[in-house]
Amino acid sequence: MQRRDRGVAQSLGLPITKRVKESRVLLVGAGGIGCEVLKNLVCCGFGSLPAPTRNGASAVMESATEAASREDKQPGIVVIDLDTIDLSNLNRQFLFRKQHIKKPKAFVAKETASAFNPSVNIDAHHASIFDHQYDVGFFETFDLVFNALDNLAARRHVNKMCLAANVPLVESGTTGFNGQVQAIKKGVTECYDCNPKPVQKSFPICTIRSTPSQPIHCIVWAKSYLFPEIFGTSEEDSADVAVTEGDNAEEVAKLKEEAEALKKVRSLMGKSEFAQEVFNKVFHDDIERLRSMSEMWQSRKPPESLTFEKLSREIDADIIKRGQALAIQDQSTWSLHDNFSVFCYSLDALSNRSQAGEKVIEFDKDDKNTLDFVASAANLRSAIFDIPLHSEWEIKQMAGNIIPAIATSNALTASLCVLEAFKIIRSQPAKQQGLAKPTANNNLPTETQSTASGKAEPMLGGSKMVFLNSRSTERMITTQNLVPPNPACPVCSPVYAKLGVPAGTKATLHELVLLLKEKLGHDEFSVTTDAGMVFDPDLDENLPKPLSEYVSESKGNAFITVSDESDEPKVDLILSTLALPEAGSASSTTLQIEPTQLNLPYKPKSSENAEGQPDGEANGEPAPVSIGEGANKRKREADDEVADSIRKKTRGDEEVHVVQDDEAILIDD
């Protein structure tokens, strides 16, 4: 039988192939991208050779979890995923089949992928990457980490862990037809957090409540105003709508009054006139008030209000039954009377649920009654403002911020992840014996590959930021040079060190502060944990508190930030906690910091970065766009952003990935 990894050996050559095979890699997430990455890793032979003796953990400190599992350090691929398999995963997560539904993704992914290449050793964990056992010591045992996640919090956490452990990270994400892969290495490239991430878009309140012009405005109105006012919490809590500078203060006050009046109507729930009152309030009275404000309609078509009485007269059937039947036809665009019927039916169904004890009903795209209500209400409002109506299915995509997950985009992105991994492996020094890991002091930021001119040299073996636009008619895959770290980045500009906390320690915050004074040689600093600032020169009341109040197993892998408060400050120090084994073993029983010598550099002046470049544009490249945070972004915006970033790139930076006839993959230098 032909070996699966023959193509890899042909294109990479034997020495690099050997390194690939001796690698120990971590894959976080076994979903859409993760399944594809795992399949590729296995087929390329990652971790298929028994590794030479490893010296992955630091010689000075070894965490409890690491010590306990020293024997388990050999597997080539470790996959971690917290989820179980859902029916909706099967259309694109090809390691899973129907019989696997409800089983842990990590276990099934391991089982299926192992069969592709039995010489690869896979270790699967059904757990969250935030769990305490995945501490910095655990991360240090890897040569490379792959992120195949779907949320910002976990991405940020792995980014920080990889910085703390000084392990390269391949970050990836897809949004519909677009994908992106970014290699990250401490002190060499930008980290995941060097650029601020786009926040959820919110709409001006007056656009949503008074002058909608697009279907999405009516959908947001139905989902974030009408629905919560009647069945749940009020609009004030919604991130979709905000009072903006452009909003007219007088109109905002009127809108508040209007919402108060709707609350009164809500109290009629359960009474026979409820539907009529709600309908006439929001689709007639409020609209007539808007219509009377003639200055609003000088350049727009004024809205045409509706009445419950007229519409119900025009329907010659039981309206609720009619609505129920129509609600099933979610792919067709309902007429005005259809929407009226579905509105009455869903209002009735939701009122019954509310009367039966569901105090607060939240909009959930998968809760059909709530979707029926939002879709029909949005369409009724669209009809009033002469905006095109949409099918419930289309409205579901918009209301649920759903970006389709495309199997092809995931597969292409996953293969780009592995191509970037080859380059990173190529850039690492060859292993003499075990992993070529940093020793005690070298995760200080000494490693930079930019020249005095600020122009970045090829980094990480020529790795690039890779963009996929699988709908593009020009180039489907484009690249951009990796950029050196942003010297102002709060996540990667600090120096990382480890704080060894012995199991069952009774140490107080005071002991940590004393240790820090000794290491830093001064006492002008503050200490910040997840609980906020716990110490600074003027805040000493927490000193007697046990350290376990801030760092403990149950709190997961906490980071502690130590900031220099002196006039000429040095960069921040981030301590990642490491639970040391029980006393009595080789370890000390007191707190320890590693590296033992902390020579922190001074903070760069705010106007210039480390290479004397203005902040932000380290080498004249546009800031990279981060994608993959589907839940926060509408598809159209995401498409536009990626298309924009692709347009901005210069041809000189482009690189071609070719798949040859003989299956060998060429990687440009």
Ligand X SMILES: Nc1ncnc2c1ncn2[C@@H]1O[C@H](COP(=O)(O)OP(=O)(O)OP(=O)(O)O)[C@@H](O)[C@H]1O
Residue 105 binds ligand X (CB under 6 A): yes
| Binder of residue 194, out of Zn ion, ligand X, none (CB less than 5 to 8 A by kind) | Zn ion
Shortest distance in whole angstroms from residue 167 CB to ligand X: 17
Closer CB to ligand X, residue 164 or residue 222? Answer: 164
Out of 10, 55, 75, 83, the only residue in the binding site for ligand X (CB under 6 A) is 83
Q: Which residue is nearest to ligand X (CB)?
A: 31
Contact range with ligand X by CB under 6 A, out of 127-135, 212-220, 309-317, 609-617: 127-135
Cβ burial of 532 (10 Å; 0-12, 13-18, 19+) is exposed
> For residues 214 and 198, what is the distance between their CA atoms, to the nearest angstrom?
22
Which CB, 483 or 580, lies closer to Zn ion? 483
Nearer to ligand X, 177 or 525 (CB): 177
CB–CB of 37/94 below 8 Å? no
CB nearer to ligand X: give 91 or 453: 91
- One-letter amino acid for residue 27 of the chain: L
Task: Compute the distance between CA of residue 527 and CA of residue 539 in angstroms, rounded to an integer.
Answer: 10
Angle between helices 336-355 and 319-327 (to 10 degrees): 100
Closer to Zn ion by CB, 191 or 387: give it.
191
**Min dist. Cβ of residue 466 to ligand X (A):** 18
By CB under 6 A, residue 664 contacts ligand X: no
Q: Give the CA dihedral 84, 90, 96, 97, nearest 10 degrees.
A: 110
Residues in contact with ligand X, shown as a per-residue x/- string from 141 to 160 under the rule CB under 6 A? --------xxx--x------
Q: CA 170, CA 183: separation in Å to the nearest integer?
A: 5
Asked if residues 280 and 307 have their Cβ atoms less than 8 Å apart, the reply is: yes
In angstroms, rounded to a whole number, what is the distance separating the alpha carbons of residues 100 and 298?
Answer: 60
Give, in order, the Cα–Cα distances in Å from 340 to each of 72, 145, 313.
63, 53, 12
User: Among Zn ion, ligand X, none, what binds residue 464 when CB lies within 5 to 8 Å by partner kind?
Assistant: none
Does position 574 interact with Zn ion (CB under 5 A)? The reply is no
Q: Which one, 594 or 629, has the nearer CB to ligand X?
A: 629
Q: With binding defined as CB under 6 A, does residue 303 bind ligand X?
A: no
The answer to whether the annotation marks 183 as part of a ligand binding site is no
**Which of the ranges 30-38, 287-295, 426-434, 467-475 carries the binding residues for ligand X, by CB under 6 A?**
30-38
Least distance in angstroms from the C-beta of 550 to Zn ion: 24
Which listed range, 356-364, 400-408, 412-420, 481-489, lies at the site for Zn ion (CB under 5 A)? 481-489
- Tell me: does residue 460 bind Zn ion (CB under 5 A): no
266 is in an annotated binding site: no
- Name the one residue in this structure whose structure tokens are 């039988």: 1
> Pairing relation of β-strands 203-204 and 178-184?
unpaired
Spell out the residues 6+ positions from residue 208 whose beta carbon is closer than 8 angstroms to its own. Answer: 217, 220, 221, 224, 225, 240, 241
Q: Does 84 bind ligand X (CB under 6 A)?
A: no
User: Are the C-beta atoms of residues 28 and 147 closer than 8 Å to each other?
Assistant: yes
CA 60 to chain centre: 34
Catalogue the E-assigned strands of 82-136. 122-126
CA distance 174 to 247: 35
Q: Is 153 annotated as a binding residue?
A: yes
Q: What is the 3-state secondary structure (H, E, C) of 319-364?
A: HHHHHHHHHCCCCCCCCHHHHHHHHHHHHHHHHHHHHCCCCCCCCC
Give, as ranges, the residues between 313 and 332 that touch ligand X (CB under 6 A): none
Q: Do 18 and 5 touch, CB atoms closer than 8 A?
A: no
Residue 218 annotated as binding site: no
Nearest distance, CB of residue 626 and Zn ion, angstroms: 12
Tokens encoding 14: 């034997």
Among the listed residues 35, 206, 218, 417, the single catalytic one is: 206
194 forms part of the interface with Zn ion (CB under 5 A): yes
Among Zn ion, ligand X, none, what binds residue 489 when CB lies within 5 to 8 Å by partner kind? Zn ion
Q: Is 89 in the site for ligand X (CB under 6 A)?
A: yes
Structure tokens at 101: 């539904």
489 binds Zn ion per the rule CB under 5 A: yes
Among 20, 406, 482, 492, binds Zn ion (CB under 5 A): 492
Cβ atoms of 171 and 159 closer than 8 Å: yes
- Residue 595: asked if its preceding bond is cis (omega within 30°), the reply is yes
32 annotated binding-site participant:
yes
Indicate which single residue of 81, 190, 594, 611 sits in contact with ligand X (rule: CB under 6 A): 81
**Shortest reach from residue 150's CB to ligand X, in Å:** 3
Annotated active-site residue 206? The verdict is yes
The listed partner (ligand X, Zn ion, none) that binds 151, CB under 5 to 8 Å by sort, is ligand X
Diameter over CA atoms, the chain: 86
- Least distance (Å) between residue 533 CB and Zn ion: 22
- 162 touches Zn ion by CB under 5 A: no
Closest CA to 73 of 83, 84, 63, 61: 63
Residue from 136, 184, 191, 380 in contact with Zn ion (CB under 5 A):
191
| Helical axes 368-384 vs 336-355, angle rounded to 10° | 140
Residue 623: exposed, middle, or buried by beta-carbon count in 10 A (0-12, 13-18, 19+)?
middle
Q: Residue 32: which of Zn ion, ligand X, none does it interact with, CB under 5 to 8 A by kind?
A: ligand X
Using CB under 6 A, count the residues that bind ligand X.
Answer: 21
CB-wise, 75 or 604, nearer to Zn ion? 604
- Footprint of ligand X (CB under 6 A): 28-32, 34, 80-83, 88-89, 105, 128-130, 149-151, 154, 405
Annotated binding site for Zn(2+): 191, 194, 489, 492
**Residues with catalytic function:** 206
